[in-house]
Amino acid sequence: MGKKYANPPIIEAVCEFRLTHDSAWDLTTPGLVYEEVREDFPNKEQRLIQEVEMTPGPRGLDQKIRTSERILFLTNERKTFIQVGPHLLAVNCLKHYPTWGEFKPRIEKAFRALTHTVDIKGLQRIGLRYINMIEIPGQSINLDIYFEFRPFLGQKLPQNMLNFIIGCELPFFDKRDSCRVELTRAVSDKPEISAFVLDLDYFLVQPQTVSADQALEWVETAHQNLEEIFEGCITESLREIFQEVK
């Protein structure tokens, strides 16, 4: 993201579109979408997905777990796939992430297939998310060397941390959009490596403020902002590990 790297840390990227419930949808919708994308996504699978829904209640937030059915259309290498569920379409790309120039056209193809199939009355949510697995040689890592976005401990606290998780939300466009930034320590299967997950989730906060005609432009802007946030989270020492391509 941002600059080009020979060894990028991205392990998954996903772009999601959630439609308002007054948008037309029936059992034939996934099949109609598939007919438009089958040349690039010829393989079909069916999966059950569990989602956690948080809703305000009298005693705070109520948590509900919903199970929904998704139809997946996968490329032959099975590293990129489209998910279609009730009023939802998502495009996922797993490691090894190619480039935005290759991922973006697949998002565009999937979304245009949806617009040709469904009368979209509104977009409840759009999201673009990048999950990065950052591996640094060594068991004891000084985070200041590698991260601009990192936990801070006051001088009166022990400076050694076994685990941590930090996060924040950054507003964009008068709080129409937001980006959730989280950094946490991860478990590495290599004892000589320290691992961290940097999760960047950029999403539409205010429903129906972006039309279907504006959705792909929104995605491009979201990606530009994510590039800047990613680069703002890391230092030159990490860029050396990622092997920046000049």
- pLDDT single digits (tens) 108-151: 999 999 999 999 999 999 999 999 999 999 888 899 999 999 99
| 148 backbone dihedrals φ, ψ, rounded to 5° | -80, -30
- pLDDT single digits (tens) 31-72: 999 999 999 999 999 988 766 665 566 666 666 677 778 999
- pLDDT single digits (tens) 184-215: 999 888 889 999 999 999 999 999 999 999 99
Residue 202, pLDDT score: 98
Identify residue 41 by its one-letter amino acid code.
F
Which position has the token pair 């998954």? 12
Residue 53, pLDDT score: 61
- CA dist list (Å): 83 to 37, 45, 188, 242: 12, 10, 29, 30
pTM of the model: 0.91
> Average pLDDT of 93-118?
95
Let me know: does 99 contact 5? Beta carbons within 8 Å: no
Q: Give me the residue spans of the domains in the chain.
A: 10-242
Alpha-carbon span 69 to 93, nearest angstrom: 20
Helix (H, G, I), strand (E, B) or coil at 197: strand
Total length of the chain: 246
- pLDDT single digits (tens) 152-189: 988 899 888 888 999 999 999 999 999 999 999 998 88
Residue 189, pLDDT score: 83
Residue 218, pLDDT score: 98
Alpha-carbon span 19 to 22, nearest angstrom: 8
> Average pLDDT of 11-34?
95
Alpha-carbon span 47 to 51, nearest angstrom: 13
What average pLDDT does the structure give for the chain? 92
